[in-house]
Structure 1
Amino acid sequence: MKARQVGAILLIAGSGIVLNTSQAQQQMEMHGITRTDLQRHDLSIPGQEAVQTRVDFAPGAAFSMHRHPGEEIVYVLEGSIEYEVEGQPPQIINAGGVLFIPAMVPHAAKNVGNVTAAEVGTYVVEKGKPLVELVSEIR
């Protein structure tokens, strides 16, 4: 698996626009975010896989509302990242902190510090579905 590769196609909900992997990677990098796939494995549960990625955020970089087809377990490696999870107040997680995000729950992340922030995201998701789906701001 290539480093710095987005693990899935991003879909823009409601717009009908589909971004391919290279377009999605370019969009993230333009916004100061680099995603590196670390590993991907089938699980013993049929139709499920585990995906682990590292996401680096430049100071002030933000990833807009999105969701995943399964649970996300976040571990913040460096810096301070503010997470906005639908139905919860925003929370800042500092290096060493963790966060659990249920399947298909919209959420956003932003580096609120003045240094590069990084997280490891571990996903338990349905195999064959896009890992990330952007959520339209208009519902």
Structure 2
Amino acid sequence: MSTEHAHHLDNPDASGPPPRFEVVATVPRAPQIPENAEAMTILVTLPPGSEGSPPHRHSGPAYGYVVEGEIVFELEGEPPRVIKAGQGFWEPGGDVIHYQDGNNLADAESAFVVTMFCAPGQPMLVPVSAEELEQRRDRRAPRP
């Protein structure tokens, strides 16, 4: 969704100020959502210095928003990046490895909300084995 999709509907019965809409993030080409997907929204709170989940993948796309602190986010083929409170992220799911979602802060919690669209009968996330990580290491962006 681009900023031209931001909107306000006049409400003649409103007694207070109108709601504010702010586009947090957009996805230029939304990924395919698995047929009959289960949508699930979770809040993840990472303790100070937490590395987050081990490398994994999701059966469908995921869209998220950092509500507190900052996280290190890394998908296969992309360099790690820091996402701060108030910023959004997404991942396509499927065969893409999600390498990192750890807390970038050593002295404070970080938290994010994520909505995932899981294929029916599939777990929310599937860990990637050390063997597969080695087989696909050429797909990981170079690290400093």
The TM-score normalised by the length of structure 1 is 0.64
For residues 137 and 109 of structure 1, what CA distance do their matches in structure 2 show? 18
Runs of 5+ consecutive residues of structure 1 not aligned to the other structure: 1-44
**Structure 1 match to 2:121:** 128
Match of residue 66, structure 1, among 49, 56, 66: 56
1:112 corresponds in structure 2 to 104
1:47 Cα deviation from its structure 2 partner: 1.9
What is the correspondence of 1:28-107 to structure 2 with a 5 Å cutoff?
46-62=35-51, 63-104=53-94, 105-107=96-98
**Which secondary structure does the structure 2 equivalent of 1:138 belong to?**
helix
Matched-pair contact (CA < 8 Å) for 2:35–2:119:
no
State the alpha-carbon separation in 2 of the partners of residues 92 and 64 from structure 1: 17
What's the TM-score once normalised by structure 2's chain length? 0.62
**Rg: which structure is higher?**
2
Residue 46 of structure 1: CA displacement? 4.9
Residues 36-79 of structure 1: per-residue CA shift (max 9 Å, x gap): xxxxxxxxx85212100000000111121111110010110100
Q: Can you list the C-alpha shifts for 1:67-122, whole angstroms capped at 9, x where unaligned? A: 11100101101001001111000000000111110112211211011210000010
Higher strand share: 1
CA offset at residue 137 of structure 1? 2.5
Superposition RMSD on alpha carbons, in Å?
Answer: 1.4
**What SS class does the counterpart of residue 56 from structure 1 fall into?**
strand
Distance in 2 separating the partners of 1:137 and 1:95: 31
Q: Which amino acid aligns with 1:80?
A: E
Divergent runs of 4+, >6 A: none
Identical-residue share of aligned pairs (%): 35
3-state DSSP of counterpart to 2:121: coil
Inter-partner Cα distance in structure 1 for 2:38 and 2:124: 11
**CA 1:89–1:46 in 2, change beyond 3 Å: closer, same or farther?**
closer
Give the distance between the partners of 1:48 and 1:84, measured in 2 at CA. 24
